[in-house]
Amino acid sequence: GRRSNAISFAIYLDLLEALDTERSEYDVDTLIIYDSQSGSEALSVKNKLISEGKSVSMQREAPSKLRYKEIVNLTKEGK
């Protein structure tokens, strides 16, 4: 019957052991850079790469912190 405030927490060490501590070297396998003229071509390339089991990111320009194995530049300047 005592009145008191309390805060508690629990750490389940077995769940922490199950975490994947190994970090992949890359965020995606392939980065596709495209512009408005190459949008449909970029989608075709993306679908082909995904069917090969690769992870793909499509962007208008390369993000500064994205880590990728290869880049496919479909912009007018990149062709």
> pLDDT tens, 2-47?
677 877 888 888 777 777 666 779 999 999 999 999 999 999 999 9
E strands within the chain? Answer: 28-33, 56-59, 68-73
Task: Give the model's pLDDT for residue 65.
Answer: 94
Task: Give the model's pLDDT for residue 78.
Answer: 72
Task: Give the model's pLDDT for residue 45.
Answer: 97
SS3 28: strand
Tokens of 33: 């850079």
SS3 16: helix
Kindly report, residue by residue over 36-76, the tens digit of the pLDDT: 999 999 999 999 999 999 999 999 999 999 999 999 999 98
